[in-house]
């Protein structure tokens, strides 16, 4: 198949444009990474660009010796793992019946879900509801209220609509109930969609910030993003006594960059393992009426 001159120029333009977009995303992260490994003098003199100057691990030593960072990291891991499982379970169990035409009240429920996608409850009623449910100052307040995303629900429902009805009908003929059909037939075929939703939910749970500000007062329950904000904007760092002298030798900017790296890298490590399913899920999970 011959490629026309216009198509060649279009492909070249795409390559250049996407390369610029990619560099605009990668270069700031490289600069943050370089500063996190650079010493105080190099950062203060503006010598650090995309490569560390005066390589040092003092910033990361301070972070690893700060008990509050480990507590916040633990909280974020708990929120991400259990919150994502709750998200997937709730979204799947609602999306599946909404994708079956034989279920009653399917359209009214879809309309109510669509309303939540357009209109959001105000903060004060949400706070009062969380308080009445006894979830203030608990990690449940960061996981239960946002268990189902309306947008993700429609994407999951769209994926279920594309599954062959013959497979579901054959399972019912063999004596499978609804739950067994969902568990043994539908979910094994839905790995791309589950991986896509899992990444989206996991990133959202890992980046939990505003809900923690509203519903959490205990220092032992704040997630990593709240602790990161304290360090970046208020320069508060509760390092252990054995490393308090090191605070005088490190750069505050380098310390902030190291915290940003610590808060970003863990969630980035998940993507390579789910990349194949994620790309496929994004392609097949388009909105369908």
pLDDT at 139: 92
In the numeric block, the tokens 């579901």 are attached to: 168
- The answer to whether 72 and 223 are in contact (CB under 8 A) is yes
Low-confidence ranges of the chain (pLDDT < 70): 1-2, 234-250, 273-289
pLDDT at 279: 59
Q: The domain 64-229+270-284 belongs to what CATH superfamily? A: MetI-like (1.10.3720.10)
pLDDT at 89: 93
Alpha helices in 103-189 (DSSP H): 106-118, 123-132, 150-161, 165-173, 178-181, 187-189
pLDDT at 168: 79
**What is the distance between the alpha carbons of residues 148 and 78, in angstroms, rounded to a whole number?**
18
**What is the distance between the alpha carbons of residues 76 and 55, in angstroms, rounded to a whole number?**
29
pLDDT at 249: 63
pLDDT at 247: 59
**Residue ranges per domain, the chain?**
1-56, 64-229+270-284
pLDDT at 2: 64
- The answer to whether 196 and 158 are in contact (CB under 8 A) is no
Q: Which tokens is 153 given?
A: 């629900």
Read off the pTM.
0.80
pLDDT at 240: 47
Within 10 angstroms of residue 87's Cβ, the number of other Cβ atoms is 23
- The answer to whether 91 and 149 are in contact (CB under 8 A) is yes
Helical axes 106-118 vs 67-98, angle rounded to 10°: 140
**What is the distance between the alpha carbons of residues 198 and 256, in angstroms, rounded to a whole number?**
29
């Amino acid at each position: 198949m011959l490629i026309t001159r216009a198509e060649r120029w279009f492909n070249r333009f795409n390559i250049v444009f996407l390369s610029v977009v990619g560099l605009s995303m990668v270069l700031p992260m490289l600069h943050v990474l370089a500063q996190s490994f650079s010493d105080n003098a190099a950062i203060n003199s503006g010598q650090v660009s995309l490569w560390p100057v005066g390589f040092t691990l003092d910033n990361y030593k301070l972070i690893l010796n700060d008990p509050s960072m480990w507590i916040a990291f633990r909280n974020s891991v708990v929120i991400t793992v259990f919150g994502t499982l709750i998200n997937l379970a709730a979204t799947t169990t609602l999306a599946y019946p909404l994708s079956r035409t034989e279920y009653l009240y399917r359209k009214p429920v879809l309309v109510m879900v669509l309303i939540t996608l357009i209109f959001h409850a105000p903060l004060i009623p949400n706070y009062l509801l969380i308080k009445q449910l006894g979830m203030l100052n608990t990690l449940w307040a960061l996981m239960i209220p946002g268990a189902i995303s309306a947008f993700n629900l429609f994407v999951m429902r769209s994926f279920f609509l594309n599954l062959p009805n013959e497979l579901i009908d054959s399972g019912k003929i063999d004596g499978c109930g609804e739950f067994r059909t969902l568990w043994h037939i539908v979910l094994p075929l839905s790995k791309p969609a589950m991986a896509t939703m899992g990444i989206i939910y996991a990133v959202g749970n890992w980046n939990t910030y505003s809900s923690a500000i509203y519903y959490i007062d205990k220092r032992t329950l704040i997630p990593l993003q709240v602790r990161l904000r304290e360090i970046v904007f208020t320069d508060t760092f509760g390092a252990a006594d054995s490393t308090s002298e090191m605070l005088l030798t490190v750069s505050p900017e380098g310390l902030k960059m190291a915290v940003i790296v610590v808060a970003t890298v863990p969630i980035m490590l998940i993507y390579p393992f789910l990349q194949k399913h994620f790309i496929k899920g994004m392609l097949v999970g388009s909105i369908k009426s």
